[in-house]
Chain A
Amino acid sequence: MQDTAPRDASGVLAVEIWRGGTDGGFARYEVPRRANQTVLDVVTHVQRQIDPTLAYRFACRVGMCGSCAMTVNGRPRWTCRTHVSKVAADGRLAVAPLANLPVVRDLVVDMAPFFDKWARAEGRFIPPQEPQSDFAVVKPASAKRRAADAGIECIGCAVCYAACDIVGWLPDYLGPAALNRAWTLVNDVRDAGRDRRLAAVAGDAGCHACHSQQGCVSHCPKQLNPTESIAGLKRATAWASLRGKL
């Protein structure tokens, strides 16, 4: 497909990149415009050719690792799979660190609060205490398997977390990614931690804090639906509460 991004006559893209910590500001750079250029390509050019002190994070460059998410023109995005032509239609490109996470420096945020919440949401597989005599048979077409499948491709990029108003308003809120992870495990028939996981996500900062604004859904680069997962947790915790298990 032909790259039809607007560019000036010299084929140079003017880009603003956040420098410093939370109190920092945007610095302006000029980067050669190339066909099929991604936002990560632009940031990499600045770091390799213009200012080696620029801090940013990436690893796989192919949308698998979830480490290169940044705020691009105000929206959280995975930069390795975001073409400049898609987001800089008006010729403007501003790249900043993800919102709702502490800024370490430049484009790097501290992901610790994000992953700590996965742990708080019991986002790990909890095996049964007693040894299993045989493999668990999970039919691909079963409702639980399909519900787990719908949320399992999360790459942990924190784009949904940065797009969530509730995280901004209620810093303890577990957030869309951790709750989505919890929902996939609630649907894992092999898992033995259902009750304690539901208890972990049922608190004030858990699934019931979600207002279903669906910013996570519209921004997830993997087209996952954390709001649907959170709604599932709301139902599961409601039933568990009625049965006296919470």
Chain B
Amino acid sequence: MSGPGFAHRNPVRAQPGYLGFLIHRVSGLALALFLPVHFWALGLALDGEARFDAFLAWTQNPVLKLVETVLVILLAVHLAGGLRVLAIEFLPWHRRQKAAVAISAGFGVAMGLIFLLNA
């Protein structure tokens, strides 16, 4: 936003719809940045089984597991956020918009925790 109306601060964004938008957008950008790394990792298989297996073994370290958990949360949050947007656009309007943002964010965190429990 621009103009003197926002010279102080921007309380207009202090609402769940903006938060839902922000989570969806940031998770989408982060996943887009991850995608080339993902393809590079898969591409290692083209160099032979041994190299790919060595890479997979390396990813078993705890730090990588945490990074992977963040990735799972990003994926789940982006999926749930996308379903939330589709519900707004293709289903009759519902009043529980704030709950929809909370549920989609909660779904992401829950998926991350389930992943961690199985890690």
Q: Which residues of A contact B (CB under 8 A)?
A: 18, 22, 24, 26, 71, 73-76, 94, 96-101, 103, 162-163, 165, 168, 211-215, 217-219, 225, 227-228, 231, 234-235
How many whole Å from B1's CB to the nearest CB in chain A?
A: 4
Q: Which residues of B contact A (CB under 8 A)?
A: 1-13, 15-18, 20-21, 25, 85, 88-90, 93, 97
Provide 12 A-B residue pairs closer than 8 Å at the C-beta atoms, listed in order of the A residue: A74-B5, A74-B8, A97-B4, A99-B1, A99-B5, A162-B5, A165-B12, A212-B17, A214-B16, A214-B97, A218-B15, A234-B89
Query: When chains A and B are docked, how far (Å) is the Cα of A101 from the Cα of B3?
Result: 8
How many whole Å from A13's CB to the nearest CB in chain B?
A: 18
A-B contact count (CB 8 A): 92
> In the complex, what residue of chain A is closest to B17 when comparing beta carbons?
A214
Q: Which residues of A contact B3 (CB under 8 A)?
A: 22, 96-101, 103
Q: Which residues of B contact A168 (CB under 8 A)?
A: 1-2
Query: When chains A and B are docked, how far (Å) is the Cα of A103 from the Cα of B3?
Result: 8
7 additional contacts (CB under 8 A) given A168-B1, A212-B88, A231-B93: A73-B8, A76-B5, A100-B3, A103-B4, A163-B12, A218-B17, A234-B89
How many whole Å from B88's CB to the nearest CB in chain A?
A: 5
